[in-house]
Amino acid sequence: MNFIDNPRKLRGFEKHIRVEKVSRRSILKGLGVTGGFVLAAPVMSRQALAYETGAGKMPHGVVIDPRVFVSVAPDGIVTIVGHRSEMGTGVRTSLPLIVAEEMEADWSKVKVQQAHGDEVKFGNQDTDGSRSTRHYLIPMRQIGASARTMLEQAAAKRWKVPATEVKAVNHEVVHSASGRKLGFGELAADAAKESVPAIEGLKLKDPRDFRYLGKGQIGIVDLHDITTGKARYGADVRLPGMKYAAIARPPVTGGKLVKFEPDEALKVPGVEKVMQVQGWPWPSKFQPLGGVAVIARNTGAAIKGRDALKLTWDDGPNGKYESAAYRKELEEASRKPGLVLRQEGDADAALKGADKVIVGEYYIPHLAHVSMEPPVAVADVKGDKAEIWAPVQSPGGTREDVAKTLGIPEANVTVNVTLLGGGFGRKSKCDFALEAALLSKELGAPVKVQWTREDDIHNGFLHTVSVERIEAGLDKSGKVVAWRHRSVAPSIASTFAAGTVHQAPFEIGMGLVDMPFEIANISCENPEAAAHTRIGWFRSVSNIPRAFAVQSMVGEIAQATGRDQKETLLALIGSPRIVKPAVKDLWNYGEPFDSYPIDTARLRKVVELVAEKGEWGRQVPKGHGLGIAVHRSFVSYIATIVEVAVDEKGKLTVPRVDTAIDCGTYVNPERIASQIEGAAIMGLSIAKYGEITFKDGKVQQKNFDDFQVVRMDDSPVVTNVYIVPPGPDTPPSGVGEPGVPPLAPALINAIFAATGKRIRSLPIGKQLEA
């Protein structure tokens, strides 16, 4: 803990800290861990940790060290480091709030400091997978408890009383027997001399004493800055002598520049230079595509110059990629057996012997993230040193990639994380920062690379495109006795390795092989599909097509049997139990199955809660309909009811959405509500409008006119969110992503209820007008 009372004294503290490091290391050695402060979560004692998470298995694991995350100034201001990226989830507030809670800091005297990218120092910083709270709730509590203990020990020594007689309460340490009190600021210098307590002996607060956690009364730390225009995003970084760049990139993935004519670009006022940008062959992870950069005195001139370039490209192997033809390929593949991933009973025989077989072939096209802030980065490369300012979800990974790309040591790269104007998985890929680094190196000046919206849509890392084919066999009573699900989609792994044709474990584990229904005969298969563009994580990832298919099929089964949707759903989920799919090395969002099982009691509970609060079965006006869907993703359980209204012309509106979420132990219910409200909008955007198509290898959409998203006038009129109160010691689970998947199928089921039309292909587009 850097208790900084005077900057000049800092050296002395560092010396002291070094001594501490030795003693800590010996503790770690005792537990069989080497490598300094990287603590794997599983070594933590059960006293402090009622459950295990996958945090320790993430690159660089978890660092539980108050000296890294907390400092107390003599004026009492407590600075807490936020080491995850803020893209709208509230994590920059929530994690420091956990530390403040546990150390008894007064939130009004806390400042949050954004960590730069350094995973050795801070532990894993990869902000995706809806992991931050579930991996860091306990570590942040331990960090706060360590800091509190050190402050208490310092006060006890000053008063010469046993440490057990003092207690930290709201930014002071109190000795109640004598009525003495000392503020955190007054104790800062002494507390810094205390040794960091062993994690195993830490006493965490009784949750009944929480002032902040679970209450939802703390606004995000950036609220005032956001509403006054002061909040700093990637594009808002300005450096002396900085140049502005816009880049023309190959329009087809894997394409190459043949030649370019810079003359017209150079005529644009404000344009200073035209230069080539190094590109990497496809696939090469997050490396830049290459192209031609126009350097100017401002962004407007750079974009105008870029648009004036005359360019000739060689489109390469993906020049014939065409969406309608590719869809046929996927559909045909889905009608033949594929790689079997989960097999229970004999689905083939059971389908043959079924009284009725319902077949659904569901299609979801490519999607673009279109975060409101298009990709942007500033780089300043001088000699063998590089400094980056960028809105990146993975600052540690960015640091690594910048070092590799420039051929300099990682220690020479500083990655400053700005606020992210939305991320949704796009900003897990740092190609834009690498472009800035390459240009700055060549220019010898700081440079900002700004992507336009067209760039963002044309050269992104798109959500995959998929056909999900489900066959459900019913017996005479209407009970589902067979289930075959074939999922065909190009994999994200294709962005890392050429020739990838099968889905990766982390994709098949998202709603395909973890399907929770109680059915005797199950087959989950993955036929081959090759990628023809860059595929990447998009908020909720493969759960989007899987939940759409599985929950639409539930609606179809209800429709075929004439039963209520909710009752059909509960019958399929079956008895309260732990589902253990017959799958080798089942991927469970990186979490140990024991802490995060597939629990149908929790699945049932969110269905029942949303049905009760959302008034399932209520009378709705003519032309309206209700639909329901449930899905477990990111180890959370979410159920949604959508009410739709479809008029005579086929115009679709959404009067009401109700969602129930069970995300285990939670930190900030107010931010959970905002995530789920937003997820409903994103789910609705996907269902109504979301489609990126290719022709001649090129994306056909360009901006918000032809890649539409939901606007306020077609957003749900009311969205209600209900949070399941956690049981004692229920581990925290994901919030950022799981809200999206159930929306589309609930909507589609509602449309069927309203109109009798079953939509199996997204987006809805004009299908209701026919």
Partner 1 sequence: MIKVKINGQEQSWDGDPDLPLLWFLRDEAGLTGTKFGCGQALCGACTVIIDKQAVRACITSVNDVAGREVTTIEGLHPSGDHPVQKAWRQVNVPQCGFCQAGQIMQAAALLMDNPKPSHDQIREAMAGNICRCGCYQRIENAVHLASTGV
Contact residues for partner 1, defined by CB under 8 A: 86-90, 219-220, 222-224, 226-233, 235-236, 238, 244, 268-270, 297-301, 303, 370-374, 419-424, 450, 452-454, 670, 674-675, 677-682, 703-705, 709-713, 715-716, 718-719
Q: Is the Cβ of residue 593 or residue 704 nearer to partner 1 in the bound state? A: 704
CB of 673 to partner 1, least distance (A): 9
Q: Compare residues 62 and 676 and give the one whose CB is closer to partner 1.
A: 676
Q: Tell me how far, at minimum, the Cβ of 687 lies from partner 1, in Å.
A: 13
Strand ranges (E), 475-564: 480-488, 521-526
| Single-letter code of the amino acid located at 120 | V
Reduce the DSSP state of residue 90 to 3 states and report it: coil
Residue 504 or 709 having the CB closest to partner 1: 709
User: What CA–CA distance (Å, rounded) separates 693 from 707?
Assistant: 10
3-state class of 139 per DSSP? helix
Q: Cis (ω within 30 of 0) for the bond into 581?
A: no
In the complex with partner 1, which residue's Cβ is closer, 350 or 667? 667
**Contact (Cβ atoms closer than 8 angstroms) between residue 354 and residue 482:** yes
Taking every pair of Cα atoms in the chain, the longest distance, rounded to a whole number of angstroms, is 83
Nearest-angstrom CA–CA distance, 46 and 157: 30
- Distance of alpha carbon 84 from alpha carbon 767, whole angstroms: 42
- Cβ distance to partner 1 smaller for residue 51 or 424: 424
Q: Could you tell me the smallest distance in angstroms from the CB atom of residue 245 to partner 1?
A: 12
Beta carbon nearer to partner 1, 231 or 560: 231
**Are 747 and 762 a contacting pair, CB within 8 Å?**
no
CB of 681 to partner 1, least distance (A): 3
The whole-angstrom separation of Cα 97 and Cα 102 is 9
Cβ closer to partner 1: 44 or 764? 764
- Take residue 706 and report the two structure tokens written for it: 């032809």
Q: What length is written for the chain? A: 770
Min CB(375)–partner 1 separation in Å: 12
Structure tokens at 41: 């979560």
Looking at the Cβ atoms of 306 and 631, the one nearer to partner 1 is: 306
Least distance between partner 1 and beta carbon 666 (Å):
16
Q: Which residue, 235 or 583, has its beta carbon nearer to partner 1?
A: 235
* CB-CB contact of 212 with 103 (8 Å): no
Strands annotated E in 179-233: 180-183
Report the residue number, 58 or 681, with the smaller CB distance to partner 1.
681
CB atoms within 10 A of CB 225: 13
Nearest approach, Cβ of residue 224 and partner 1 (Å): 7
Tokens of 398: 């960015």
The strand pairing partners of 293, in sequence order, are 247, 275
SS3 694: strand
Instruction: Give me the least distance between CB of 99 and partner 1, in Å please.
Output: 21
Q: Which residue's CB is nearer to partner 1, number 380 or number 401?
A: 380
Query: Which CB atom, from 384 or from 706, has the smaller least distance to partner 1?
Result: 706
Classify residue 204 as exposed, middle or buried by CB count within 10 Å of its CB (0-12, 13-18, 19+).
middle
Cα separation, 699 vs 689, in Å, equals 16
| Least distance between partner 1 and beta carbon 106 (Å) | 20
Minimum CB distance to partner 1, residue 225 (Å): 8
What are residue 725's phi and psi, to 5 degrees? -65, 130
CB nearer to partner 1: pick between 344 and 714: 714
Q: Assess contact for 80 and 100: CB atoms under 8 A.
A: yes
Tokens 């207690």: give the residue: 167
C-alpha to C-alpha distance for 694 and 713, rounded to whole angstroms: 29
Closer to partner 1 by CB, 179 or 229: give it. Answer: 229
What strand order describes the sheet that includes 447-450? Answer: 271-277, 291-296, 243-248, 447-450, 376-382, 385-390, 413-417
CB of 62 to partner 1, least distance (A): 26
Q: What's CA 329's distance to the chain center, in Å?
A: 30
Evaluate whether 656 touches 718 at the Cβ level (below 8 Å).
yes
In the complex, least distance from residue 507 CB atom to partner 1, rounded to whole angstroms = 24
Three-state SS letters, 559-584: HHHCCCHHHHHHHHHCCCCEECCCCC
What whole-number distance in Å separates Cα of residue 413 and Cα of residue 388? 8
CB of 683 to partner 1, least distance (A): 9
| CB within 8 Å of 563: residues ≥ 6 apart | 478, 557
- The torsion angles phi and psi of 230, rounded to 5 degrees, stand at -90, -15
How near is the Cβ of 85 to partner 1 at its closest, in Å? 11
